[in-house]
Amino acid sequence: MPAIEELITEFGRLPGIGRKTAQRLTYYLLKNSPAEARRLAGALVRVAEEVRTCGRCANLSDRDPCEYCADPRRSTEQLCVVEEASDIAAIEKSGNYRGLYHVLGGRLSPLDGIGPEQLNVSPLIERLRAGVREVIVATNPSVEGEATATYLHRLISPLEGVRITRLARGLPVGGDLEYADGVTIAEAFAGRRDM
Amino acid sequence: MPAIEELITEFGRLPGIGRKTAQRLTYYLLKNSPAEARRLAGALVRVAEEVRTCGRCANLSDRDPCEYCADPRRSTEQLCVVEEASDIAAIEKSGNYRGLYHVLGGRLSPLDGIGPEQLNVSPLIERLRAGVREVIVATNPSVEGEATATYLHRLISPLEGVRITRLARGLPVGGDLEYADGVTIAEAFAGRRDM
């Protein structure tokens, strides 16, 4: 396969990138900068070689244990459970949370054949037995995320001394009441707080 | 910079790919397949190393002369002038044209500081003097593309024995008259043909 066609094909395999976009990206790199193509190639190889799964929390990182598990300033009493490693980046950007994480590696989804045994759950229970005071369930506000949260609650609630919380539902900041869906508005009413 | 962050940054440099998409692509590759990341890296390196500009038509190709210039079955009497090498792929896909190409490497755009001297025009004139019977101006149907076509027409028309044509304007096949813009409809009327 000619080099140009091969790169178009490889770009086109990425999610959300169709053939037209793949062509655009390929010709952009060809026209503007072979150096940029090499830098992107280098970053890809580095990720393939260096990134591994943290043995404690299953976060993806250059290090094992990852930067959060290895950080002595973070509280070991709080554990935030997320579906994917990418969710950690979003939470860290908010800049408030100072506890540790646990990555499930997905969510319950019977239609896709993903049950509890496909998720990183047993190590979670092990960790909870080692002095964690609060589990913050931060699965996505989707049907599967809710089902996963319910499953985790049932699993964790027998453990004594562990508080189980989940992230608040409500109107997104900067959002518009007019365009919010009914379920979100209902959740915002149910979770209303005194001013 | 950690490997994950570096790949997000590099993806984010590509046109039309914002930080969110860059994150999504990075975590997709991390989660699904380091092998795919390596394959994409290989394709990028190959493009950076192997692809060059054809010395005759300025197409981008693994070969010089490119596959079209080197193909003895293609007519040397027709020359199709395009703005970018990527336009050639689109024309080839239509499968009708059997002549040669000439890539301008852009279009006239005074606001971006692109004048005639930034385009691959002198070699075009040289080629036209060597037995070409027809120049098909296939610049884009945009303001800049039209200006470029007009400029080329003025430049080429003094040459004797060279017919100058341009691609027809009209309704795109599969399009909807209702949603076509007024200029396109006007062009479709002006270029109407007997049935």
Same domain, B81 and B131: yes
Whether the per-residue pLDDT at B74 is higher than 80: the answer is: yes
Same domain, A76 and A22: no
Query: CA-to-CA distance for A160 and A12, rounded, in angstroms?
Result: 50
The candidate with the shortest Cα–Cα distance to A103, out of A122, A89, A127, A84, is: A84
Same domain, B80 and B158: yes
Q: How confident is the model at residue B100 (pLDDT cuts 50, 70, 90)?
A: very high
Total domain count, chain A: 2
Residue-level pLDDT at B46: 95
Q: What is the CATH number of the domain that holds B143?
A: 3.40.1360.10
Same domain, A82 and A154: yes
Same domain, A159 and A76: yes
Same domain, A39 and A96: no
Helix (H) or strand (E) holding A46: helix A34-50
B6-60 pLDDT, tens digit per residue, is 999 999 999 999 999 999 999 999 987 789 999 999 999 999 999 999 999 999 9
Query: ω before A158 within 30° of 0 (cis)?
Result: no
Domain annotation covers residue A110 = yes
Q: Taking CA atoms, what residue in A is nearest to B42?
A: A41
Domain annotation covers residue B135 = yes
Same domain, A86 and A154: yes
Same domain, A45 and A77: no
List the domain range (segments joined by +) for residue A25: 3-50
Domain annotation covers residue B60 = no
Task: Give buried/exposed letters for B20-59 (b at 16+ CB in 10 A, else e).
Answer: ebbbbbbbbbbeeebebbbbbbbbbbbbbeebebbebbbb
Same domain, B78 and B160: yes
Q: Give how far the C-alpha of residue A96 lies from the chain's centroid of Cα atoms, to the nearest Å.
A: 17
Same domain, B95 and B155: yes
Whether A83 contacts A104, CB under 8 Å: yes
Domain annotation covers residue A121 = yes
Domain annotation covers residue A17 = yes
Same domain, B42 and B95: no
Q: Taking CA atoms, what residue in A is nearest to B33?
A: A48
Considering only the beta carbons, identify the residue of A3, A35, A60 that sits closest to B4: A60
Domain annotation covers residue A29 = yes
Domain annotation covers residue A171 = no
Residue-level pLDDT at B179: 80
Averaging pLDDT over each range in B46-50, B94-98, B173-177, which range is the top one? B46-50
Domain annotation covers residue A89 = yes
Residue-level pLDDT at B127: 94
Q: What is the CATH number of the domain that holds A27?
A: 1.10.8.420
Query: CA-to-CA distance for B171 and B165, rounded, in angstroms?
Result: 19
Cβ contacts (< 8 Å) between A26 and chain B: which residues?
47
| Mutation for testing the A interface, residue in B25, B40, B120 having most A CBs under 10 Å | B40
Cβ contacts (< 8 Å) between B61 and chain A: which residues?
2, 4
Q: Which residues of chain A have pLDDT under 50?
A: none
pTM over 0.90: no
Q: Taking CA atoms, what residue in B is nearest to A33?
A: B48
Note whether A40 contacts B10, CB cutoff 8 Å.
Answer: yes
Alpha helix positions (H), chain B: 3-12, 19-32, 34-50, 85-94, 122-128, 143-156, 182-190
Q: Give how far the C-alpha of residue A117 lies from the chain's centroid of Cα atoms, to the nearest Å.
A: 19
- Per-residue pLDDT, averaged over B119-142, amounts to 92
Same domain, A153 and A123: yes
